[in-house]
A and B are shown apart, each in its own frame.
Chain A
Amino acid sequence: MRPRQAAMLAVLPLALAACGGGGSGGAPAAPSVADASADHRAVKGGGTLNIALNADPDVLDPSVSTTLVGREVFTSMCEKLYDIDAQAALVPQLAAALPEVSADGKEVTIKLREGVRFNDGTTLDAEAVKKSLDRHRTWEKSARQADLAAVSKVSVDGPSTVKLTLERAFTPLTAQLADRAGMVMSPKAINDDFGANPVCVGPFKFVSRTSGSQIVLEKSADYYDAAKVKLDKLVYKIIVDPNVRAANLKSGDVQVADQLATTTVKGVQADPNLTVVSGGGLGYYGITINTGNASGSTEKPGPVNTALAKSPQLREAFELALDRDQINKTVYNGLYEADCFPLPADSPYRSPALQCPKRDLARAKQLVQESKVPTPIPVTVTSPNDATNQRLAQVVQQMTKEAGFEVTVQTAEFVSTLEQGKSGKFDVVLNGWSGRVDPDGNLTNLITSRGSNNYSGMSDPGIDDPIKEAAAASDPAERAELYAKALRRAAELRGVLYLYHNKYYLGMSKNVAGVQYFKDGLPRFVSAGFAA
């Protein structure tokens, strides 16, 4: 094996992260928010930090978990082989260094950090890592199978070295190992009910969970960097209503509130005892048009009998009728980043040549006229039934009406919209994606042929091939070029009209210091505490 440093494979910094900047230009700047990574105040030892989560995490088993809030809790108690830093670059966490990759990209060697113990005192070694990785990739109930699909074998190469054999070169692997697929569970605690009493390596260990109410963690005595941990206890409280979450922060009942609604950010900022920091931005939200999902996103595409599905010109007209900046302002108080591509504007994989079209009503009307389809053209938009999504649907309805479309908004519970999306039982649906560190995670399953979340049913070699090639390529510049090619083609086909990248806003009491809040939108409390 001719190892070449994993910088080629892994670092690929999604740097420039803090630069911000809207996609379509001219987007209203988000209100000034503090940069959590710049908070270097001294922290005193002890204390309990109460954190409000915006939803109830699902099962606390890294193999099974699928929610963002679940990842927030894992961040404090289940470390991974790799992590991201403030610049969104991949860095080793339980691994001793970034992985070494063979020349053909099919062998990946991971050296482990030594002297690490799980929170039950068991030693972390190569066997333990193998057991976890094998569970992630082969257990039939594992939601990580797709993340590790490229891995054909995990073998132990000494007490602190693990070797992964891949079926094909797969550059996004390190990014996958920087998420739940890279979490290592204590081999003693692994069983089908692991989620009821999870044991990993982490600054805090699991104490209890009251279903639908709260999750309690306490400082771990076994943590390898215990001196860094200041807080005694973390209590994650589930407070779904955004107004109540903000009220709890203002009253001091919680010291940190996750994912403030855009409607409550201003009020929290105005409180002299509170501060707001922003994170996230890897995900996106958009309007998915069913162009070929006749019988399910993973099935062979078929004809869809709607005016938008049949005519690329009408889809173009629909897009040109939209004013993304106005949508951001009207629906989200200007707090998101308006954009028309699935990769963040500051991603190093995003070619600067990719530009968004501005609203052009005259051209939209012309396209509608040329299509010879009698107006108004009926379009049914399925929207999740929360207030924000309904507001978005109404704005889209008004904007496209001017171009000759008659949008009927059909609301459904979020869960039902997901199912309709997967099964193809929709004309147009509002939906988004929480985003992944590696661009592949925002594309392969979402816009390539028969991808599990390819709701629009797009199937085009002009999209599929470059994305596939990019996953095998290790040079960031080469990958960026391939992604630009795929995104240009996707923008022509318009299966998804991307609208914006959603930022996360974390509300905090000013006496809380040392919280890290990065691009992935997961607040990290390893070095957090109350300001000294």
Chain B
Amino acid sequence: MVWFILRRAGSAVIVLFLASVLIFLGIRALPGDPAVVMAGEDASPSLIEAIRRDYGLDKPLPAQYVDYLGQTLSGNLGRSTQDQLPVAGILAERLPVTLELSALALLVAIVVGVGAGIVAAVRRDRLPDYVATGFGLAGLSIPHFWLGLLGILLFAVTLRWLPASGYVPFTQDPGQNLQRMILPALVLGTGFAAILMRQTRSAMLGALSADYVRTARSKGLAEVKVVGAHALRNSLTTVVTVLGLQLGALISGAVVTEQIFVIPGFGKLTVDAVLTRNYPVIQAVVLITVIGYVLVNLLVDIAYAFLNPRIRLSGSGHD
């Protein structure tokens, strides 16, 4: 097992190295010179040159890469070219915001999606089913930015129940924080809830027609128990699988939601950084995302190996 983990961790390091090369080259392949952006509309060639020198952009690419790798490995992610604040500090500010938004959206998706899926399956071909299926279709079709704008117009401008946008850290004022996160979480969670609803509904329909459910009912078990303890429990495997698969999509959906609701999260940071060719920030953001994916995959691999001995045995070459 230890050997298995070490091997997987080793390949993760290789993936990270290759990713760092790709990130580095990918950003530089984009048209648009960051020095020109920073120098502004009335820049002299000497100023642009000075900025290039300052950020090491005048060096050949391999030398720039070595500098970048050396700095990153020593934990120095550089300074944002937009406001010259340290990138590490910016990431530390932004990451928790997106994690909170994603967690709340996930909560919305599970409560609404799984709940509606159960109701739709139990009340199949009746009004609740039609409503839930209709909601599912709408949820999948409506783009986040449009739903977000509608939400702002309705809840902030017309009804004035919620603030239109912005962010207050949870540690500073939990009430304000939740007030400002409800709408974005609902918007972000809707599409996800629709997917969960459809998966839950079809899994539940399968389970409800299974023999063990018929047996449970014939034993005289209460319907709540039949649905909750038997059918739902067996449907959850599918739901959990979809949940895992969609987590990445949830975080990328946060990019649009954060823009609309002006939430200073990871997604907004990424878009802003790309638009201003903020190399240090883009590099750090993509690297952190890759690290996240690699770590999750590593953990999943390890978990699978734990659960299924065949995997670690075939992997170690001793079978």
Contacts and interface: CB of A to CB of B under 8 A. Distances in A.
Nearest to A432: B41
B173 interface: no
A213 B42 contact: no
A58 B81 CA distance: 8
A101 interface: no
A412 B42 contact: no
A94 to B, nearest CB: 23
Nearest to A297: B45
B259 A66 contact: no
A211 B44 contact: no
Interface residues of A, number: 50
Most buried by B among A57, A211, A412, A452: A211
Given A211-B85, A415-B276, A251 B160 contact: yes
Contact of A59 (B37, B47, B83): B83
Contacts of A413: 31-32, 275
A253 B40 contact: no
B42 A211 contact: no
Interface in B1-51: 31-33, 36-47, 50-51
Given A58-B82, A212-B264, A238-B262, A141 B54 contact: yes
Interface in A53-111: 56-61, 65-67
A251 B157 contact: yes
Contacts of A303: none
A253 B166 contact: yes
A247 B157 contact: yes
A481 to B, nearest CB: 26
Interface stretch (B58-66, B130-138, B148-156, B297-305): B148-156
B93 interface: yes
A141 B38 CA distance: 10
Interface string A128-158: 0000000000001111011000000000000
B156 A212 contact: no
B260 interface: yes
B83 A210 contact: no
Given A58-B38, A213-B262, A244-B260, A253 B156 contact: yes
Interface in B248-297: 259-262, 264, 268-269, 272, 275-277
Contacts of B259: 240-241
Contact of A196 (B44, B47, B84): B84
Given A66-B42, A244-B149, A412 B260 contact: no
Contact of B164 (A142, A143, A247): A247
A211 B39 contact: no
Contacts of B260: 241, 244
Contact of B42 (A240, A415, A419, A452): A452
Given A66-B39, A413-B275, A59 B165 contact: no
A354 interface: no
Given A211-B85, A241-B259, A141 B42 contact: no
B177 interface: no
A195 B81 CA distance: 12
Interface in A204-237: 209-213, 237
Interface in B46-104: 46-47, 50-51, 54, 80, 82-85, 90, 93-94
A195 B36 contact: no
B143 interface: no
Contact of A244 (B37, B43, B152): B152
Contacts of A252: 160
A65 B42 CA distance: 11
A204 B83 CA distance: 20
B84 A195 contact: yes
Contacts of B164: 244, 247-248, 250-251, 253
Given A59-B84, A211-B82, A239-B165, A433 B41 contact: yes
A445 to B, nearest CB: 6
Interface in A174-214: 193, 195-196, 209-213
Contact of A60 (B42, B47, B83, B152): B83
Contacts of A422: 36
Contacts of B44: 145-146, 298, 452
A110 to B, nearest CB: 23
A71 to B, nearest CB: 11
A453 B36 contact: no
B277 to A, nearest CB: 6
Nearest to B40: A66
A243 to B, nearest CB: 6
Contacts of B90: 211
Contacts of A445: 42
B163 interface: yes
Contacts of A237: 166, 262
A56 B271 CA distance: 12
A472 interface: no
B153 A247 contact: yes
Given A143-B39, A143-B47, A250 B32 contact: no
Contacts of B163: 251, 253
Given A211-B82, A298-B45, A416-B32, 11 more contacts: A56-B82, A58-B83, A59-B82, A60-B83, A146-B42, A209-B83, A241-B259, A244-B164, A414-B275, A415-B32, A418-B41
21 contacts: A59-B82, A140-B50, A143-B39, A145-B46, A146-B44, A212-B82, A212-B268, A238-B262, A240-B259, A240-B262, A241-B259, A244-B262, A247-B152, A247-B153, A251-B160, A251-B163, A412-B31, A413-B32, A413-B275, A422-B36, A452-B42
Interface of A: 56-61, 65-67, 140-143, 145-146, 193, 195-196, 209-213, 237-241, 243-244, 247-248, 250-253, 298, 412-416, 418-419, 422, 433-434, 445, 452-453
